[in-house]
């Protein structure tokens, strides 16, 4: 599996950052390449929650996914696993920074498998990895801008 990990420091308290990212209606506001993000369960926060979405270019429809949340700990983080669509596992972690006046480090890990037999790793290394790295970096920068503008 290919892995992309990025972190960003955001000048807001950990509770504010966590609650913003954990609210399903905010995902499309910051996460580049995610569209049609909708609840697939009555509950929308915590372990066992599922969402459907499309990932990729919305002009051509994107790849349909259904994801499930686990390891959900308030103001600490969670894991998201694809239960429909290509294999993807995400980890979101929120860390209160010591000495900072309300600063939070948000870390996002993405592990994914390119669903192409034999040449999957080569395609992943040459095409998919740089694309996902840019998408994750821009998404975290979008999140930082939204939260710091909202706070200020």
Q: Render pLDDT for 92-139 as a digit per residue (tens, 0 to 9).
A: 999 999 876 689 999 999 998 866 654 556 655 556 778 889 999 999
Q: Specify the 3-state DSSP secondary structure of 85.
A: coil
Distant-in-sequence, close-in-space partners of 134: CB < 8 Å, separation ≥ 6: none
Mean pLDDT of 78-97: 95
Burial class (CB in 10 A: 0-12, 13-18, 19+), 127: exposed
Domains and CATH numbers, the chain: 2-33+74-151 (3.30.530.20)
* Residue 67: predicted pLDDT: 98
Q: What is the pLDDT of residue 93?
A: 98
Per-residue model confidence as pLDDT tens digits over 32-64: 999 999 999 999 999 999 999 999 866 566 889
Taking CB atoms within 8 Å and a gap of at least 24, the contacts of 61-66 are 62/33, 62/35, 62/36, 66/40
């Amino acid at each position: 599996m290919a892995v992309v990990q990025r972190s960003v420091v955001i000048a807001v308290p950990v509770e504010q950052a966590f609650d913003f990212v954990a609210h399903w209606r905010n995902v499309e506001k910051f996460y580049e390449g995610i569209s049609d993000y909708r609840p697939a369960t009555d509950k929308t926060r915590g372990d066992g929650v599922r969402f459907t979405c499309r990932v990729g270019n919305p002009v051509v429809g994107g790849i349909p996914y259904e994801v499930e949340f686990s390891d959900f700990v308030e103001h600490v983080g969670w894991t998201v696993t694809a239960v429909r669509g290509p294999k993807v596992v995400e980890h979101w972690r929120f860390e209160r920074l010591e000495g900072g006046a309300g600063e939070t480090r948000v870390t996002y890990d993405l592990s994914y498998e390119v669903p192409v037999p034999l040449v999957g790793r080569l395609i992943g290394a040459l095409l998919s990895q740089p694309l996902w790295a840019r998408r994750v970096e821009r998404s975290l920068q979008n999140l930082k801008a939204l939260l710091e503008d909202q706070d200020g």
